[in-house]
């Protein structure tokens, strides 16, 4: 007889767990996120927006890291061994960003041609 009581209790607990699980599955079915996958256009739109967010986050993160790295390089320019190397890098970047004389001459000639 004690065995049957244990079985009944176990069956009641199992039935309770099944009801709880059924409620949770119904909640998941109602989620919009899962509905998106049933409709191809919604899925494409969702994927497009996700890609935009990932791309924007990547660019923003890379910009912050590069800015921080440049700041650190500027701070350690006084170290004897690394300082010369970093100064060369800074000069090279400044040289690349500065417009050349040829570009300036071409701009002046174009401006002179336009009335």
pLDDT tens track for 10-25: 888 999 999 999 998 8
Q: What is the pLDDT of residues 52-61, one digit of tens each?
A: 999 999 999 9
Model confidence, pTM:
0.41
Residue 79 phi, psi (nearest 5): -70, 130
pLDDT at 32: 67
Q: How many whole angstroms separate alpha carbon 8 and alpha carbon 5?
A: 5
How far is C-alpha 115 from the chain's CA centre?
49
How far is C-alpha 50 from the chain's CA centre?
9
């Amino acid at each position: 007889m004690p065995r049957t009581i244990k079985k009944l209790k176990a069956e009641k607990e199992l039935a309770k767990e099944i009801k709880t699980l059924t409620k949770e599955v119904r909640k998941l079915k109602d989620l919009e996120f899962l509905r998106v996958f049933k409709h191809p256009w919604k899925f494409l739109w969702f994927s497009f927006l996700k890609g935009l967010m990932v791309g924007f986050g990547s660019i923003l993160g890379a910009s912050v890291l590069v800015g921080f790295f440049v700041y650190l390089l500027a701070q350690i320019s006084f170290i004897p061994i690394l300082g010369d190397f970093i100064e060369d890098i800074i000069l090279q970047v400044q040289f690349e960003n500065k417009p050349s004389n040829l570009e300036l001459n071409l701009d002046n000639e174009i401006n002179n041609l336009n009335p």
